[in-house]
Copies of this chain bind each other. A is one copy, B any other.
Amino acid sequence: VNFDEIPFPDDEARAAARARQARLTKPAGALGRLEELSIWACGVQGQCPPRPFNRIRALVIAADHGIAETGVSAYPPEVTAQMLLNFSSGGAAVNVLAQLQGVGVRVVDVGVMGTPSEDKIREGSGRIDTEDALTAEEVERALATGVRLADEEVDEGADLLILGDMGIGNTTVAASLIAALTGSEPVSVTGRGTGIDDNGWMRKTVAIRDALTRLRQALGGVPPLGPDAAITALRVLGGADLAVMAGLLRQAAVRRTPVLLDGVVICAAALVAEQLGPGAQRWWLAGTVSPEPAQALALQRLGLPDPLVDLGLRLGEGSGALVALPILTAAMATLEQMATFDQAGVSERTA
């Protein structure tokens, strides 16, 4: 994949937003983080005041993971395919939350076992404790698929993207990638996922440890920094879903399209994408705090501000980002629509 360069958000629009914030009829800073958010929105939209989003799209990237067979999840692997049907019939959390806010949902099956899909990179992925998740060719194809998905969405008018994940075993893969790219220990990144018990947690930690050992061998002592190492990490740790997401996140930035990040799986892909194209993170916003410990490590490394909501959400599917979305739109609406001191004839501060 030949990636294009990452553009910068619009500094003039940001400056105009900051100036306008200071003129709104409220004490300076009284809208707290909504003020920063509105400035960020102006930067990525390249205009002040910001415009309401016209077409927000949630892309749920689904794949199976070979590591699931080792009992790292509380749920059997067939749940991934079953959930695809649940998405189609509109019964999953992402469907309900997206509909509530007029967000279109697109489920992209890039690696689920036993399901038909034109976007499939492969069925499942390697057991990462003993084998590579993907081949080098599959990584390339997955990144290209991510680029194509971003292009398709932006070409159809999407002006905000939300990424979601579905795949039994995917927090094991996400935690491995985050450990690799932040230099963290397995015990620091391993969480309870869908709700595993202590034995499951130990199996998961061991799987992550073994996967990281394999990656170190594959990198031959080179630190996991930069695009080549990121591509190696995707090959060794995978899976197809993470690679597609990484390509998609990077290309969304190329296309000047902001992304509201979800939980630990999307943040792992974002960490990889930032290695593929430094500066992409300027186009992203963290939506939701994940109880998975790896997420905070990823966000810290990305230099992103704290997520907008902290409600113990750990479902994935993009659900956390969808819960956070109204905070972003509220921030934008206040900057766009509130009266200024002059307009309203309100006195300014005296002390």
Contacts and interface: CB of A to CB of B under 8 A. Distances in A.
- The number of times this chain is found in the oligomer is 2
A82 B347 CA distance: 8
A30 interface: yes
A308 interface: yes
A195 B344 contact: no
Indicate the size class of the contact surface on chain A. Answer: 35 or more
A350 B75 contact: yes
Contact of A319 (B31, B86, B100, B197): B31
Given A34-B323, A100-B330, A196-B351, A83 B313 contact: no
Interface string A72-90: 0111101100110110010
Instruction: Determine the main DSSP class of A at the interface with B.
Output: loop
Contacts of A196: 351
Interface of A: 24-34, 71, 73-76, 78-79, 82-83, 85-86, 89, 91-93, 95-97, 99-101, 194-197, 200, 291, 308-315, 319, 322-323, 326-327, 329-330, 333-334, 337-339, 343-351
26 contacts: A25-B83, A25-B91, A25-B92, A26-B92, A26-B93, A27-B194, A27-B315, A30-B314, A31-B315, A32-B314, A33-B311, A33-B312, A33-B313, A71-B351, A86-B339, A89-B339, A91-B339, A92-B339, A93-B338, A100-B326, A100-B329, A100-B333, A310-B310, A311-B327, A326-B326, A326-B327
